[in-house]
Structure 1
Amino acid sequence: MDTIDIFRELRIPNPAEFPVEDFFKVPFTHHIHIFSGVKDTKARYYYIHRCAEEKLSAKALAQIIKNDDFAKLANLPNNFGLTLNDEVMARKAVLAFKDSYVLDFINTEEIGERDKEDIDERVVEKQIIHNIKKFIMEFGKDFAFVGNQYHLEIYSEEFFPDLLFFNRELNALVVVELKTGKFKSGYLAQLMTYLRILDDKVKKPHENPSIGIVLCKEANRSFVEYVMQDYDKPMGVATYTTSQETPEALKDALPDMDELKKLL
């Protein structure tokens, strides 16, 4: 692919959206990677912008295209772009989380005969703690477990967020609040309190702002994004399924956890 081929491939539907300045900052080899490996116009603009902003090597560009970073940007309902001043940091935060997790090591059928809806967050939390290595493997790379029911105190008021992690890539504390039911707007207010205290009392001076994630069974994305826009701390909402909720066809397609650990 030569220069003429690249410009022929541009097919700019809306010239006003084309990142002209970024385009001329990106080396020719990088453009070849983008225009030969990416077909969606908006995705191409995204990778051009990242190359210009982060001065990516050709190898690093090829890797993020392979990882399909552009597609992942739309996954997690979040306010990172509004609450994290650094655009690179905001993008890394989006890529650090998924919109849905398969916690296949949690099997509520083995807990007892009670109704699934009666199984509270503490039960799920205990199973996650018992299987913390598996949870981190599902949650993503660079997460280090700090503690559960982590004690926070401010003005003689005590709080105990469910799970606290530290993410090395983000250089930030990550608090995860577990909910076994449908998302409620009040969960964000609860998370906001935790993040405020973490930033004031726990976060180190060299660390980035703490990030909060509500992990619940069900969430209306449009509603989450609507109520989240007035919060000034970085947070997102993800959902999860447990082992007995995973379709049999999908279970057969998923690698066995023990086998996966051997491969890793």
Structure 2
Amino acid sequence: MRDWVIDIFAVVPHSDYENLIGRIDNLWSLAKRRAAEAVNTELLNANWRTGQYIVEFEQHGKFRAEYGKQLLIRLSRDLTTLRGKGFSRSNLTYMRKLYLTFPKCETLSHKLTWSHYFELLKCGDEMELQFYFHESINQKWTVRELKRQIKSSLFHRLALSTDKDGVLALAHHGHAILTPDDILHDPYVLEFTGLPQRKCYKEGELEKALKENMENFLLELGRGFAFIGRQYVMPIGGRQFKVDLVFYHCILKCYVLIDLKRSEITHGDVGQMNLYLNYFKNEICMPDDNLPVGIVLGAKRDEVLMEYALEGITNKLFVARYQLYLPKKEELQAQLDKMLSQTDI
């Protein structure tokens, strides 16, 4: 066998053989990916049709609501006997809900799995469901990422930072990033750091926790962020200044600087970030970069003080709050309902 291989390479260049290996490897990788996509498409369609059959059976028999529970219990038992796992009453309930939520099969996206839809269908509000539906597709969220964003009430946090038309846009299209204002969340939810809400911690501890959980932090920041560095050094006027975290936003094509404050944001923090932005604008940014963006992230902020601190600043500079616990969805929903009720949308 060894002599045969040597004879082959005496005739065929090694690079040609490596190319052959690469082409076959790519062929099978593509085939497996397409096979997985085909399986997902068929399973999703089968789940949707199961829901359709259940609803049509109910409508044909003019089922009363109290009979629905018994129907699903019996279906679960009989289908499990016939087909095995996958037909629990819970699964059948969500298959039925899948059909009712997406009554036209072509409106389903096969970029998402049944596990994605299972989480989406838990949303009690139609606009909220549509937002997470579009964002899961746009940002290619895994099921784990989708669950985290639903749990952190991302839709409500973004909705409350916009206007009524913006809420509808979020629901219909997801979160479009067109300007620096679009990357801002308020508040940022950093529960993944594991820092207790009442512990007296230092800013360096928060920064270290964010770096150690960078995958989750990038998910919270949103699409387009690439991590550049921590404690980025800026030599200015014979002194060295450091900004806590530096990112590059691949969609906006600009640097994003984040400074962390353990307690309330002060006017001095705003001035310091403005200094950092001026340095990046003149010393770091390339000609094809857009102007840098700065975010001062603190536990508290005084609205009036921040209004005066930011007045006259021409750089894109934002102040935002963070919290170390998940917000109460009910409270956010109440705020959103109040905002939307002021004018019909």
Distance 1:211 1:95 in 2: 12
Look up the match of 2:232.
150
Match of 1:246 among 306, 326, 334: 326
Distance 1:203 1:158 in 2: 19
Q: Any unmatched runs of 5+ in structure 2?
A: 1-133, 136-154, 164-176, 331-345
**Change in CA separation of 1:182 and 1:71 when aligned onto 2, cut-off 3 Å:** closer
Q: Between Structure 1 and Structure 2, which shows a larger proportion of helix residues?
A: 2
Contact (CA 8 Å) 2:244, 2:259: kept in 1 or not?
A: yes
Q: 1:132 aligns with which of 197, 210, 214?
A: 214
- The reply to whether residue 99 of structure 1 matches residue 99 of structure 2 is no
The answer to whether 1:237 aligns with 2:319 is yes
Q: Secondary structure at the match of 2:215?
A: helix
| SS of equivalent residue, structure 2 residue 240 | strand
Q: Is contact 2:258–2:297 with CA below 8 Å preserved after alignment?
A: yes
**Whole-Å separation in 2 of the counterparts to 1:239 and 1:224:** 12
1:201 to 283, 308, 312: 283
Q: Is the 8 A contact 1:73 1:95 kept in 2?
A: no
Which whole-Å CA distance do the structure 2 matches of 1:98 and 1:222 have between them? 19
Pairs within 5 Å for 1:45-194: 72-73=161-162, 92-109=179-196, 116=199, 118-194=200-276
Q: Taking structure 1 as reference, are residues 102 and 154 closer, same or farther at Cα in structure 2, changes over 3 Å only?
A: same
CA distance in 2, matches of 1:184, 1:125: 19
* Equivalent position amino acid for 1:108 in 2: L
Cα distance, 1:147 vs structure 2: 0.3
State the structure with more CA Rg: 2
Distance 1:152 1:223, change over 3 A: same
Cα deviation for residue 156 of structure 1 reads 2.2
Q: Does the CA contact (< 8 Å) of 1:173 and 1:209 recur in 2?
A: yes
Give 3-state SS (helix, strand or coil) of 2:319's partner: strand
1:70 Cα shift?
8.3
Partner Cα distance (1:133, 1:187) in 2: 27
> Does the 8 Å CA contact 1:73/1:94 hold for their aligned counterparts?
no
Q: CA separation in 2, counterparts of 1:239 and 1:153? A: 28
Residue 292 of structure 2 corresponds to which residue in structure 1? Answer: 210
CA shift for structure 1 position 104: 1.2
Q: 1:138-165 CA distances to partner (integer Å, 9 max, x unpaired)?
A: 0111000000001111232211100000
Residue-pair matches, total = 164
Question: Tell me, what secondary structure is at the counterpart of 2:321?
Answer: strand
Give TM-score scaled by structure 1 length. Answer: 0.56
Any idea what SS the aligned residue of 2:305 has? Answer: helix
TM-aligned CA deviation for residue 107 of structure 1: 2.0
Q: Which amino acid aligns with 2:232?
A: Y
Q: Which of 309, 321, 339 lines up with 1:227 in the alignment? A: 309
Give the deviation of 1:191 after TM superposition.
0.2
Q: What amino acid maps onto 2:305 in structure 1? A: F
When the two chains are superposed, the root-mean-square deviation of aligned CA atoms in Å is: 2.8
Taking structure 1 as reference, are residues 108 and 233 closer, same or farther at Cα in structure 2, changes over 3 Å only?
Answer: same
| Alpha carbons 2:180, 2:316 under 8 Å: kept | no
Return the alpha-carbon distance in structure 2 between the equivalents of residues 233 and 99 of structure 1. 19
Looking at structure 1, the residues matched to 320 and 209 of structure 2 have their Cα atoms a distance apart, in angstroms, of 18
